[in-house]
Chain A
Amino acid sequence: MMASSYNAKDEDGHHPGSVGSGGPGAVKSKKPDNTAFKQQRLPAWQPILTAGTVLPAFFMIGLIFIPIGIGLLVTSNNIKEFEIDYTGVDMFSPCFNCSQSYSWNSTSACTCSVPFTLDQPFESNVFMYYGLSNFYQNHRRYVKSRDDSQLNGDKSSLLNPSKECEPYRTSDKKSIAPCGAIANSLFNDTLELFYIHPNGSRIAIHLVKTGIAWWTDKHVKFRNPGENNNNLSIVFQDTSKPVNWRKPVYELDPSDPDNNGFINEDFIVWMRTAALPTFRKLYRIIQKKKDNMTPTLPPGNYSLEVIYNYPVRSFDGRKRMILSTISWMGGKNPFLGIAYITVGSVCFFLGVVLLIIHHKYGNRNNNADIPN
């Protein structure tokens, strides 16, 4: 039980005869008001850390955290995740050639195909991520190199982007749209997935490319300039494409006007900068089959077809493709489960230790020896 109680207003006690309080007509006395606030007698709850409060707290935390941790760990272990590095560092890896001959400006795409095998079926919706390592999306100069007004469709910012975008602000005396280092370094590999049927046929797996960005980003934060003008090429006509891009922003997804220009979801996802130098970003969703009988991705052989555009070798980066199912807690995340179990056990153990210490050495007879 929390050792506490309300401190009732102490009696005002012996105040030597209040001579000063004259009649209503008398000169106002300087006697301070007798309010609980001014006399520092506000009623108050005065908790003390006692064995009765602290020890149960430790046990409680132990008892709550360990089950949570176990739950988290089990959930996490039930999530199926498959990860494949397609950077092509290794001489024998399929993308080695592509990784060697990269250039932002090359017009011909280099493609490579990476085979892999899934041992277990992936049920329900499967999420496809690309992961980058050693990529400092959180560098200060990188993070601030964007213009949110421009991305929000502000006309003046479109033509005159913020200084923060330097040195990716203008090219050929035209303002860059979207400006800045983040946009300039947009991840532009194309990943496609094929199921190699045991009979040898390659079945393309349908990858959904919308619904991967946050709703608020897609609908509030990012907007194309010229709200009513569906012809984006006119809207962006006075701007130039980012230096590293192969095509202008209004051609990111010409097939779907709701996914083109600034509101292209791949672009939006990229623009939400990662906190850490190793990160993964949602790329595509593989929706579950309508009949729940067959798994979304049955076990078997697959092939990842990569159109290899994005150079990372220079800074020792890695590119990965990740397939994962999710649960109520998101993706696979063993850290939390283990952390909860550890913290819970430590708390419980501490509780036991404290109990022993308190029992053996604790000064339970505290008030006896107060020298007056």
Chain B
Amino acid sequence: TKLNFSSALEEERHVRANDRDYNERFSYADNRIKTAKYNVFTFLPINLFEQFQRFANAYFLVLLILQLIPEISSLSWFTTIVPLVLVLAITAVKDATDDYFRHKSDQQVNTRQSQVLIKGKLQNEKWMNVRVGDIIKLENNQFVAADLLLLSSSEPYGLCYIETAELDGETNLKVRQALTVTSDLGDDVAKLADFSGEVICEPPNNKLDKFTGTLCWKDNKYSLDNEKMLLRGCVLRNTEWCFGLVIFAGLQTKLMQNCGRTKFKRTSIDKLMNTLVLWIFGFLICMGIILAIGNTIWEQKVGSDFWEYLQWKELTINAVFSGFLTFWSYIIILNTVVPISLYVSVEVLRLGHSYFINWDRRMYYSRKDTPAEARTTTLNEELGQVEFIFSDKTGTLTQNIMVFNKCSINGKTYGDVYDEFGHKVDITEKTPCVDFSFNPLMDRKFRFHDSSLVEAIKLEEPLVQEFFRLLALCHTIMPEERNEGELVYQAQSPDEGALVTAARNFGFVFRSRTPETITLYEMGQAVTYQLLAILDFNNVRKRMSVIVRNPKGQLKLYSKGADTILFDRLDPSNEELMFTTSEHLNEFAGEGLRTLALAYKDLDEDVFDEWMKKLLFASTALDNREEKLGALYEEIEQGMLLLGATAIEDKLQEGVPETIACLTLANIKIWVLTGDKLETAMNIGYSCNMLRDDMNTVFIISGHTMLEVQQELSKDKFSSGLDMEKTELYSSDSVFEETIIAEYALIINGHSLAHALEADLEQILVDVACLCKTVICCRVTPLQKALVVELIKRHKRAVTLAIGDGANDVSMIKTAHIGVGISGQEGMQAVLASDYSFAQFRYLQRLLLVHGRWSYHRMCNFLCYFFYKNFAFTLVHFWYGFLCGFSAQTVYDQWFITLFNIVYTSLPVLAMGLFDQDVNEQYSLRFPNLYRPGQLNQLFNKRKFFTCTLQGVCTSFILFFIPYGAFMTAVRDDGAHISDQQTFAVTIATSLVIVVSVQIGLDTNYWTAVNHFFIWGSLAVYFAILFAMHSDGIFTIFPNQFPFIGTARNSLNQKIVWLVILLTTVVCIMPMVAVRFIKADLYPTQTDKVRLLQQATRKQGPQEQNLRRVRRTSSRRSAYAFAHQQGYGELITSGKNMKVPTSSTSTYPLSSPTRGLTGTSSASICKCFRHQKH
């Protein structure tokens, strides 16, 4: 899936700033993005070329040419050209509209404005006109236009902050820093215009977290790494402006290189259909050969004797040549077994199904005014066959909002709402919120429903106050106050932000900080605390503490952390409270909330001084500093007093656990692929009910080398060895796989995944992963997401669906059979790349279980019927061949052949294909296992195809031979003869139309008014056209085209003809009815049962089925594990991240240096600050 355009040759990239002439020598890609396929002039040739690459279209073209040869033309040319032109036109119109929208979206991106430094001046330019080597200026909240080398920024030390959500899905800010030499250029346009550094770097590639290069300027060389790059797709945040040098543009940017190829997606039914058409084609040739041989023999044995009545024009023609011509004639006559209208009808059906998706009000999200949208119209039936769902986490499963939901203070819980009878009330949108208007500094978006907590605050209960004071003091957040009272918190983790915001609303407003102080507004009073120490968080400690001196001079230690850790360090007197709080924590965790325990401690001046000295000593230690510090922290965090606990909700999108549960019942496996941390991913796994405590084992694969990963994977295999042996013993694996699946979960991180995806290990990975009920991949890159999808596609031959919301999901969305984008969010990349888009994850349930299932059901029924119909229609000619000297004489009137597929029988089957519902939507959702047949390909496969074609062959046999038997000696009731060809044709045609109409009636489960209208209408139209074409009037105008004059009148007024039609119909239909009845009676499918149930309940009146709320039984997980990063305490106390010391209120946010930044995290930034400042 790697995309390398011209870069295949490019070994090294040379970019000279402000020197377009130099850079143009290398013909680097410009910044224009082009996803559209055609333009106005190339549309017709390219589109026609593409269309004729379709086997069927080419086939019909050949047929058309054959029909123009008079010797073999057994049918008029119009029988083929009319449908062919129709097909080509409809497809072309559809392709054109699709491409038009691609043009529009390209246009929109390409014409975004950016400021480019041209000839010493800043000029506004469209994105597409930006060239490699240009220097462009970005402003706050702007999208980065291309991959840039950061030169300078408005912030000190050339720092700038970016949000990379579009790239990797992480929403926290990241920091980038320019080289000192370039950051000195500042925003001096003249200096920047003179800048003539040359960058030599790697060729374009798709590694988001790696960049190597050197900058040569003024005879100096500076090394460049990813820390100095701003990638396309990022957004500049909290930085007024910055300048950057374009290194990669357009398609060569890392974002685009990560997008993967746009592949033309085809459904499995499409592929099957193509195979079947080939088979049919083979079958057609076989029939042609049989008939041609028959013709040769006939010409030799009979035809030569029949000579005097029937001469050839050229006397030289011999029997073999006659057979050869007959072969082609029969190919033309029998071509209707591969009906061209099949392709048109399939397209129409899919288009209709897409509209139904667009129109569905239950997939419309009113809050964002976003309806669901089927962006591709060719994949609908595959929605009914999905086996694997690959889901992004942030923004897809979660809303990416942390909410302070509940708390327990001194043994009392707050956060639940009770009605007057003391019953717990479910919190909904309408539940009244607590009024925080007493607090002018409140955050208006904060909602809390339990008013008792505010009352407790107003009563000035000391422990409640202490609780919120702790929340306001013990954290590493940077506040930003642009205007008076307009506080913005820059939190490194959203959890912390939620806690501090809660404290803020409850009257303990964290307002500003300096390296040595923290200023709170406690119930309106400014109180400044001296910050003495931050005992920072790390993954082992799982807690953080601060030591402050309050204005009264008391020393306090405030600590928050994972409950298990904190409970071990409490004062023994707290045991009872600990017990109560522990119960509350269990309760919170059961609701899927992330919890933290809070504790405090009064410190003795002497003890503290002593400890502080040790700390200073330890912090200058050269070896084992970390351990020594840890031991010291441990020493002071003892004998604390428990305050309570908080519960934060990582807000899932509405209905996510229910949806996942429902989809799991439908036997769809859901894999979560996220760029997030392991702990976060696991937590979401628990709250979505994908991970449960009752699972046997949760395997975590996090090896760093190939060998480790292999061992870990095989270890898992070993531990499930017992089951594996069983599997081998019984080897009826499908059943056993099911029983095994119930128990395991696999969690694998990006590093390990990289190894596991290598050729040696991928088979093991697939095996292990498929034994697990839940698979979560964390810390994965966009490309890895695509590789995982690709892996499953390759190894499991299952239909995959990828769902995501950000640019980092694009590659996986494009790779999967079906890509779904969450719309209504900020970025549009995912939606633009997707096949379906809607606003909420939970709509997936409806998309698959209702729309997908229906589409699949309809498409399969449609195809079965279509093949049946055309075999029944066409093979009559085959039988007739044996009685007409294999002369390729048609049974039917030519007009009937032309109109049969497009007029007489197209609408009823279309109506069935559009409206049919075997089971209505409520029952589709209520019985998710109705989805199973789709996954197993049960409704249309090669076997089904054989059954329905066989049925068609039998029908054609009956259709021909019953009238044959009856007409051997038949005469009219006035003695005139009736066994003439035209009467025979009318009788068979009428029987055929009636038989296929009855058959579609049997196949239709859901007779809407439209179905009635089309079925009865088709019959009526058949008779109307029949009589019209056999009428005197039309004959007098075109005597040669309508030779059937009077046949309808003269044959359909005969009782015997109707008796033949009735007999034929009954003989064709009744065996089918019997077979279907027996099947449904003896071996009812799930669908049959549900239909019966549905009918039974419908009689009793409708009843609303509520999905049971999924009960979560998950263990307590500390919020502290999730998003925190070590090292911030040091940063704050050193003051390195504070802006110029003069303004203490305006500070800068910090980003978590995450995986991309290859270890050189903020610590190194700090070091460099230190050098510069001191």
Contact = CB atoms under 8 A, between A and B. Distances in A.
B612 interface: no
A200 B1037 CA distance: 57
A34 B364 CA distance: 11
A363 to B, nearest CB: 6
Nearest to B1090: A370
Interface string B428-454: 010000000000000000000000000
8 contacts: A15-B362, A49-B1073, A139-B885, A140-B329, A330-B1056, A335-B965, A340-B1063, A367-B1092
Contact of B976 (A214, A314, A369): A214
Contacts of B1036: 152, 220
B923 to A, nearest CB: 10
A40 B1007 contact: no
Given A39-B361, A216-B1045, A362 B1081 contact: yes
Contacts of B885: 136, 138-139, 277
A354 B1077 contact: yes
Contacts of B1086: 370
A31 B371 contact: yes
Contacts of B962: 339
B981 A275 contact: yes
Interface stretch (B567-575, B944-952, B1097-1105): B1097-1105
Interface stretch (A17-25, A93-101, A108-116, A250-258): A17-25
B359 A32 contact: yes
A115 to B, nearest CB: 25
B619 interface: no
Contacts of A147: 1040
B308 A314 contact: yes
Nearest to B978: A330
Contacts of B1035: 152, 220-221
Interface string A11-42: 11101111110000000011111100011101
A46 interface: yes
A274 interface: yes
Interface in A27-74: 29-34, 38-40, 42-51, 54, 57-58, 61, 65, 68, 72
A20 B369 contact: yes
A137 to B, nearest CB: 8
Contacts of A13: 1104
A297 interface: no
Contact of A19 (B305, B360, B366, B929): B366
A272 B1056 contact: no
Given A213-B976, A314-B305, A370-B927, A139 B1092 contact: no
A308 B370 CA distance: 88
Interface of B: 74, 302, 305-313, 329, 356, 358-362, 364, 366-367, 369-371, 429, 854, 883-885, 887-889, 915, 917, 920-922, 926-927, 929, 962, 964-985, 1002, 1005-1011, 1032, 1035-1036, 1039-1040, 1043, 1045-1046, 1049-1050, 1054-1056, 1059-1060, 1063, 1066-1067, 1070, 1073-1074, 1076-1078, 1080-1082, 1084, 1086, 1088-1093, 1095-1096, 1098-1099, 1102, 1104
Contacts of A372: 926-927
B1006 A148 contact: no
B883 A282 contact: no
Given A40-B915, A65-B1066, A314-B308, A46 B361 contact: no
Contact of A336 (B1043, B1063, B1091): B1063
Contacts of B1045: 216, 220-221
A148 B1036 CA distance: 10
B1077 A46 contact: no
B973 A5 contact: no
B883 A49 contact: no
Interface in A198-228: 212-217, 220-221
A163 to B, nearest CB: 8
A345 interface: no
A357 interface: yes
A336 B1008 contact: no
A343 B1065 CA distance: 11
Contacts of A127: 971, 975
Contacts of B1090: 370
B841 to A, nearest CB: 15
Contacts of A42: 915, 1008-1010
A162 B70 CA distance: 13
A295 interface: no
Contacts, number: 324
Contacts of A279: 977, 979-980
Contact of A34 (B361, B1066, B1104): B361
List the 3 shortest-distance A-B pairs measured between CB atoms, nearest first: A216-B1046, A275-B984, A38-B359
B361 A45 contact: no
A357 B1081 contact: yes
A333 interface: yes
Contact of A148 (B1043, B1063, B1076): B1043
A10 interface: yes
B364 A336 contact: no
A277 to B, nearest CB: 6
Contacts of B965: 335-336, 339
A315 interface: yes
Given A269-B976, A272-B982, A275-B967, 11 more contacts: A29-B369, A32-B371, A42-B1010, A46-B1005, A136-B885, A216-B1046, A221-B1045, A274-B981, A276-B968, A276-B984, A350-B1070
Interface residues on A, range: 35 or more
Interface stretch (A188-196, A229-237, A321-329): A321-329
A269 to B, nearest CB: 7
Given A49-B1076, A140-B887, A361-B1082, A216 B1092 contact: no
Contact of A5 (B360, B1063, B1095): B1095
Contacts of B964: 276
Contact of B74 (A140, A274, A330, A340): A140
Contact of B310 (A33, A125, A139): A139
A269 B977 contact: yes
Contacts of A85: none
Contact of B981 (A38, A49, A273): A273
A148 B1077 contact: no
A156 to B, nearest CB: 12
Most buried by A among B312, B969, B1032, B1078: B969
Most buried by B among A135, A184, A366: A366
Contact of B1089 (A32, A212, A367): A367
Given A329-B973, A357-B1082, A361-B1082, A152 B1039 contact: yes
B888 A140 contact: yes
B1077 A54 contact: yes
B969 to A, nearest CB: 6
Contacts of A343: 1063, 1066-1067
Contacts of A285: 975
A118 interface: no
Contacts of B1088: 366
A305 interface: no
A31 B369 contact: yes
B299 to A, nearest CB: 10
A162 to B, nearest CB: 7
Nearest to A360: B1082
A326 B968 contact: no
A333 B1102 contact: no
Nearest to B982: A272
B168 to A, nearest CB: 31
A94 to B, nearest CB: 24
A331 interface: yes
B911 to A, nearest CB: 11
A70 B1039 CA distance: 43
Most buried by B among A61, A181, A285, A339: A339
